[in-house]
Structure 1
């Protein structure tokens, strides 16, 4: 049986055969055990050369240009002018439920006999104040509660999968390896692994080229939601991430340039998602089923 050799930068040599798919095991080892971005990149590059990872780094070149809101609307982004406005849907629903429920229970408790009819409604009514106090002192705790509560919305889990799958897919198409991901409520994320970019970010030396690539990945989740829903819910974290990248770049860009970068990144990411709809949907299904990173990559390649 003919065998082809995959040689990684650390000198480790592995073999694959098209029938046995041992090369898949090689990639699994690189991703899950070594967590070495250079090794993962090299493995994926070689898998692309042998015809397996055809979509890996298939869109490596991105170049920013002036972008208008009209272009976002033409692409299919709904309410493009409001994309950067943080959604308060989940927050409002949570607080309304807390206030409404405690108010209703307070009225019922007021019917209790004697002093119970005074103290119990008072205690129940104070719950709303406690919730607001917690939000002021420890916003993270309140946000965790809101995230958990958001699961009552029928579209919430699907939104999470669509949003995170977009980050995953665009990172893969652009050539940024994925280390891990999660769709768990309150812990939603997709982690990239790229040692070179990490060093540039930490040192504040991101150049325009790398900033553009990271911006597209950062805005991919927002773009995916904007293509599907009238209102985007998960944009706050994406915008915060993009601002962090902007702050760590040189030369610094103006406010107008930042706004244009955001629009362009949404347009570019949204275009990739729209043009690779079948890949995005296959990845959503895989991630919703808690597939491994490798299985997610397989889902992308099989859907291509």
Structure 2
């Protein structure tokens, strides 16, 4: 997302060895008030160990016993030619500007810094004697210091902008909508989710997959995997675009998508990259729109800091 919101990312960690048997079956015992009779111990263990293969197998088994019906319910996708008109027809607002990084939070932060220091400088100018000279000078230099920090260490400035953006009235709802979209779309496409966070400066949603890790690092992502990752990457942007007139959380998502594109084979032309982005937004928006109740339920769960298991339960219960 943008500098103010958590961003989608695939965390490239090695999957830990599984301690449970591949042929393990689910015991029938109540471990959740929303899913009586279903045992989540295998899934919980896999999530705790950051074992993506274990999570996938556990969810596959839950689907076999008739519970995880939404898990991997959209496994087959393929990029197709997509126009801006299709995005608009689906309900995405200002579709032509979705890929343009937002400067709302940056501009608001800098305007506040410059405006407040200027006002304080004027007030300090009324101080008697030398104080009336030195204090306004020092206050006025704050803006220059902020700009210098932005040039030398952009990360520190973006952290400050991220903290400042939390004061926007739509911040909490917007970030929950954005991250819930990443989580939900990944779940529907069959990509295991190992964790998430709505905290400022932390990347989400965390997907850990050793096979994908190797493909990304080796620059050998094929079209099938690129399509899936593109849809998950654009899900947050799509969710904002369906709800708000202006998207502010697209910067990091677009960066993630470009990173995947750069690691794919064969290489895509500029026109193919543009089409992939449009198609991924359209497909993600379609999934979110068609599963609106699931998205809203997941947003509510994530907003109260529910565990990954509880988030999955929220999706399945809403479905």
What is the rounded CA distance, in whole Å, between the counterparts of 1:26 and 1:41 in structure 2?
A: 11
Q: Which has the higher contact order (CA 8 A, sep 6+)?
A: 2
Q: What is the RMSD computed on CA atoms of the aligned residues?
A: 1.5
What is the rounded CA distance, in whole Å, between the counterparts of 1:288 and 1:26 in structure 2?
A: 25
Task: Report the 3-state secondary structure (helix = DSSP H, G, I; strand = E; otherwise coil) of the residue aligned with 1:147.
Answer: helix
Name the counterpart of 1:4: none
Contact 1:8-1:42 within 8 A present in 2 as well: no
* TM-score with structure 2 setting the length: 0.90
The 1:186/1:62 distance shift into structure 2, 3 A limit, reads: same
Name the counterpart of 2:28: 17
2:50 to 20, 35, 42: 35
Name the counterpart of 1:3: none
What is the rounded CA distance, in whole Å, between the counterparts of 2:291 and 2:155 in structure 1?
A: 35
Name the counterpart of 2:218: 203
Asked if residue 61 in structure 1 is aligned to residue 76 in structure 2, the reply is yes
What is the rounded CA distance, in whole Å, between the counterparts of 2:260 and 2:166 in structure 1?
A: 30
Contact 1:14-1:23 within 8 A present in 2 as well: no
State how many pairs are aligned.
297
Name the counterpart of 2:3: none
Asked if residue 220 in structure 1 is aligned to residue 235 in structure 2, the reply is yes
Asked if residue 240 in structure 1 is aligned to residue 252 in structure 2, the reply is no
* 1:11 Cα deviation after fit: 4.8
What is the rounded CA distance, in whole Å, between the counterparts of 1:11 and 1:246 in structure 2?
A: 34
Contact 1:9-1:42 within 8 A present in 2 as well: no
1:270-289, Cα deviation, whole Å (9 max, x unpaired): 00000000000000010010
Structure 2, unmatched stretches of 5+, are 1-17, 32-36
1:133 to 122, 143, 148: 148
Task: Report the 3-state secondary structure (helix = DSSP H, G, I; strand = E; otherwise coil) of the residue aligned with 2:202.
Answer: coil
* 1:13 Cα deviation after fit: 3.4
The 1:56/1:93 distance shift into structure 2, 3 A limit, reads: same
1:155-197, Cα deviation, whole Å (9 max, x unpaired): 0111100000000000000000011110012225211122211
Q: Which runs of 4+ in 1 moved over 3 A?
A: 7-15, 18-22
Task: Report the 3-state secondary structure (helix = DSSP H, G, I; strand = E; otherwise coil) of the residue aligned with 1:242.
Answer: helix
What is the rounded CA distance, in whole Å, between the counterparts of 2:20 and 2:80 in structure 1?
A: 36
2:278 to 244, 263, 280: 263
Deviates more, 1:190-199 or 1:261-270: 190-199
* 1:25 Cα deviation after fit: 2.0
* 1:208 Cα deviation after fit: 0.4
Task: Report the 3-state secondary structure (helix = DSSP H, G, I; strand = E; otherwise coil) of the residue aligned with 1:180.
Answer: coil
* 1:9 Cα deviation after fit: 6.9
What is the rounded CA distance, in whole Å, between the counterparts of 2:25 and 2:156 in structure 1?
A: 47
1:212-263, Cα deviation, whole Å (9 max, x unpaired): 0000000000000000000000000000000000000000000000000000
Name the counterpart of 2:187: 172
Name the counterpart of 2:312: 297
What is the rounded CA distance, in whole Å, between the counterparts of 2:181 and 2:136 in structure 1?
A: 47
